[in-house]
Structure 1
Amino acid sequence: MSALRKTEPDLGESMRAKLAGFAATLRDNGFVVGLAEYRDALTVMSGDSASSPSRFRPALRSLFCSRHSDWTMFDEIFDAFWLRRGMKSATRMSGAPQKAPDGVQAAASGARGLGNQDNADHVQRGEGEDAVEAGETRREGASRAEFIGKTDFRHLTHPDDLAEAHRLAERLALAMRARMTRRMRARPRGQRLDLRRTIHKSIANGGTPMQLVFRKRREKPLRLVVLLDGSGSMSLYSAVFLRFMHGVLDAFREAEAFLFHTRLVHISPALRERDPQRAVERMALMGQGTGGGTRIGDSLATFNRWHAKRCIHSRTCVMIVSDGYDTGPAERLGDEMRALRRRCRRIAWLNPMIGWQDYAPEAAGMKAALPFIDLFAPAHNLESLKALEPYLARI
């Protein structure tokens, strides 16, 4: 370590610690940042470009971005870290990952601050949402469940909070199904008068309608088809969504679940396990390759070709949970979304990043998908999932 220190430019301990914190944040968000990249970054920062973030941003982007997904994510992470903007509830984005099954990383956020410890006090608060401090949860004036319900999933760092979020997600799915079922069954005599059959029956009574005949639509239960993005950029949200999907498949018997990254995996059989932990473990074995890149267009093409005919009927809502970062051609994603739109009743796209401050759907894949989406909604905490119920009830 002493030999390495001698070869590094002298930036001062504060700037050196801040750069180390930025490199660690990038690693937590899926970037491949090693010792060589860090030393080159120190060299860059020792020059004149270190005078302002706008001047060293291009150099750091070239050093740390090695994949397409890195380039699409870099600017937002850079702004959150160096300029303290772009995050809704705090300038912290990621931290030490929690223990999770292989294949789906339940990385939690907030344990490591963005930047050095001196910046820990500069927490940017969003409207109606409490900021999350490292090693501390502020529950004054609210119950623990309310706190977890309003907290962005990426800020749940304590194992107990994560476990409680998992339980609440499953309970929410069960409650949604119970309320929606009651609403759909509140038609004991049918919906509309069947005039043709009422007149036909009145012939025996000389044309006097002694017996009214009602028409009741043949009910098809709402079917949910959930497609969950298992790529690295979604790793902070995947674990909680898997538990929500387990509750969905347990409560909505007319439901199917798929996981996609560079390929599509049908995970409904695994998630129908009664034991949630066993369900997630089975899913992890089936979904090898998660946590890397994502090809949304190719995955939708697989779904449309091999699964759509079996899974979709006239009252089907396809729910896609993804941040919209696609490493494939945007045109392919648009074509497959158009084909999917012709088959199903509704398409809901849940994007966790909508809950971030100043988010705009600028990714090419997201722009290509938007014209075919009926509901574009946030999915960054339990409250945003609960808000889906009125929408699903109207389908």
Structure 2
Amino acid sequence: MPVLAENVLHFARILRGAGLPIGTDRVMDAVRALPLAGIESRRDWHATLSALFLTRHEQQVIFDEAFAVFWRDPALEQRMMAAMLPKVAGRMAGLGARASPRVAEAFITNTQPTPAVENPEQIEVDASLTFTATERLKHLDFEKMTGDEWREAKRIVAGMRLPVPDVRTRRFKRAPTGAAIDLAATLRRLARDGGQIARIVRREPRLRAPPIVVLCDISGSMHRYSRMFLHFLHALVRDRARVSVLLFGTRLTNVTRALRHRDVDEAVDAVCAAVPDWAGGTRIASCVHEFNFQWSRRLLGQNATLLLVTDGLDRDDAPGLEVEMARLHRSSHRLLWLNPLLRYEGFEPRASGIVAMRPHVDAFLPVHNLESLRTLGKALSPHSRLSS
């Protein structure tokens, strides 16, 4: 079965190129399991590889597209020796427009070797074309990005900064040209100098960055968007003080400490390991209730801004969501709802969760591409007039 093992390994590389995490151990299990499960039927072949390679439901679409292109030999359904398939080269002819960009890119990358170039010519990069590609990437939906586009988007997000303006506090600091007189400091200096007034001490209000609290949905419908938003939050946590990040699906998890890793990939891996319900269901009402009674007083003081990242699709459809959202809104200085469903033109809030939540937010914003992340800073400005 050497050809069987080689083709299974090649198929695993295709899936890895499309973004599915498949290790060598699963490839070895597949090589051992396929002869035992039976290779007479294409359906059995598909079910065996699917059970061994997939860990989440949303990966099924990518797997099915890659399987249909890679294992499309018609003899696979008719002969038991279908394991002796030829090499994968040439199978791109049947890919067509039905495959997602991630699958198409994975096949091209893993089936076409890069030819060696003798005497390479100097290549000039057209700045206008580079600008056009960057502009396209800014407005490209995270769900439609290929692997290379996803990596480039992560690089851009890592360099983003959230221009949240500092707010005035009730405390003061020394300032040579301050508008107010620091009477206590002036009297102390007067007593120290024997009653001679040398200079009046002045002060001005102290400015401080307001706290930012993020509640991010990590359910299956939000997986692609929340993962990119985690890269944005990593840059935010590293750049600013007093940033708290809590993820919720069926339960609430504080991941602020995990995001403080210097390396963004290590930080995201630590977050995924700390969250047991990643890409599962959603219980918005119970998670918001838990935040209100366990975290609200600790995190939402001193003019804190709350970012709620969710599509509002609640699995339980719990009745107390509107009450919990009203309490959450009263506790926050500003409550911004970031919803990837706003990428659709003519979006109407018909789901019961969205209807219950929307009246209790200060702004209702999209979060589906790089441009939406850039405009988030404008929404956090105290002078913004974004409608809810």
> Per the shorter chain, which TM-score range?
0.5 to 0.7
Q: Is the 8 A contact 1:314 1:344 kept in 2?
A: no
Pair 375,213 (structure 1): closer, same or farther in 2 beyond 3 Å: farther
Query: 1:374 matched to which residue of 2?
Result: 362
**Percent identity over the alignment?**
30
SS of aligned partner of 1:341: helix
Unaligned runs of 5+ in 2: 1-49, 67-93, 106-127, 191-198, 384-388
Question: What RMSD over aligned residues (CA atoms) do the two structures have, in Å?
Answer: 4.3
- Residues of 2 paired with 1:387 and 1:189: CA distance? 34
The reply to whether residue 334 of structure 1 matches residue 322 of structure 2 is: yes
Structure 2 residue identity aligned to 1:280: V
CA distance in 2, matches of 1:183, 1:145: 37
Which residue does 2:346 correspond to in 1?
A: 358
Q: Secondary structure at the match of 1:142?
A: helix
**Separation of aligned partners in 2, 1:237 and 1:328:** 22
In the TM superposition, 1:13-52 aligns within 5 A as none
Assess, with a 3 A threshold, how the Cα gap between structure 1 residues 248 and 239 changes in structure 2: closer, same or farther. Answer: same
Where 2:244 maps in the other structure, the secondary structure is strand
Please list the CA deviations of residues 343-378 of structure 1 after superposition, one character each: whole Å capped at 9, or x if unmatched.
Answer: 110000000110112211211111111111001001
Residue 348 of structure 1 corresponds to which residue in structure 2? 336
Match of 2:142 among 145, 148, 153: 153
CA distance in 2, matches of 1:183, 1:106: 48
1:258 and 1:268 in contact (8 A); partners too: yes
User: In the alignment, residue 298 of structure 1 is paired with which amino acid?
Assistant: S
The answer as to whether partners of 1:103 and 1:287 remain within 8 angstroms in 2 is no
Q: C-alpha displacement at 1:387, in angstroms? A: 0.4
The one-letter amino acid paired with 2:138 is G
Q: Secondary structure at the match of 1:318?
A: strand
CA contact (8 A) 2:310 2:338 kept: yes
User: Residue 222 of structure 1: which of 210, 235, 240 is its match?
Assistant: 210
Partner AA of 1:294 in structure 2: T
Give the 5 Å matches for 1:260-271: 260-271=248-259
Q: Whole-Å Cα distance in 2 between the matches of residues 108 and 188 of structure 1?
A: 62
Cα 1:106–1:380 change in 2 (3 A) is farther
2:368 is equivalent to residue 386 of structure 1: no
Q: CA offset at residue 306 of structure 1? A: 1.1
Q: Which residue does the alignment assign to 1:287?
A: 275
CA distance 1:238–1:246, change in 2 (3 Å): same
Instruction: Tell me which structure has the larger Cα radius of gyration.
Output: 2
Aligned to 1:46: none
Instruction: From 310, 314, 322, give the equivalent of 1:322.
Output: 310
Distance 2:174 2:65 in 1: 57
TM-score, scaled relative to structure 1? 0.58
Paired position in structure 1 for 2:237: 249
In the other structure, the counterpart of 1:306 is: 294
Superposed displacement of residue 238, structure 1? 2.0
Q: Tell me the CA shift for residue 260 of structure 1.
A: 0.4
| TM-score, scaled relative to structure 2 | 0.58
| Contact 1:242/1:280 (<8 A) preserved | yes
For residue 262 of structure 1, report the CA deviation from its aligned partner.
Answer: 0.6
Distance 1:106 1:213 in 2: 66
Quick check: 2:140–2:369 contact (8 Å CA) kept in 1? yes
After the TM superposition, which residues 163-202 of structure 1 pair with which residues of structure 2 at under 5 Å, given as runs?
163-172=151-160, 175-177=161-163, 180=165, 193-194=179-180
Q: Name the SS of the counterpart of 1:268 in structure 2.
A: coil
Count of residues paired in the alignment? 268
Distance 1:161 1:190 in 2: 51
Distance in 1 between the 2:254 and 2:375 partners? 26
Shift of 1:219: 2.8
Separation in 1, partners of 2:167, 2:137: 28
Q: CA deviation at 1:181?
A: 6.3
> What CA distance in whole angstroms lies between the structure 2 residues aligned with 1:294 and 1:327?
5
Q: Which has the higher contact order (CA 8 A, sep 6+)?
A: 1
Q: Secondary structure at the match of 2:209?
A: coil
Code of the residue aligned with 2:354 in structure 1: it is M
Q: What letter is aligned with 1:151? A: L
For 2:258 and 2:211, locate their aligned partners in 1 and report how far apart those are by CA, in whole Å.
18
User: In 2 relative to 1, CA 249–343 (structure 1 residues): closer, same or farther, beyond 3 Å?
Assistant: same
Question: What is the DSSP-based 3-state SS (H/G/I as helix, E as strand, rest coil) of the residue aligned with 1:288?
Answer: coil
C-alpha distance in structure 1 between counterparts of 2:377 and 2:207, whole Å: 19
Show the counterpart of 1:240. 228
1:236 CA displacement: 2.2
CA 133–303 in structure 1, closer or farther in 2 if over 3 Å, else same: closer
| Aligned mates of 2:58, 2:271 — CA distance in 1 | 12
| Secondary structure in 2 matching 1:238 | helix
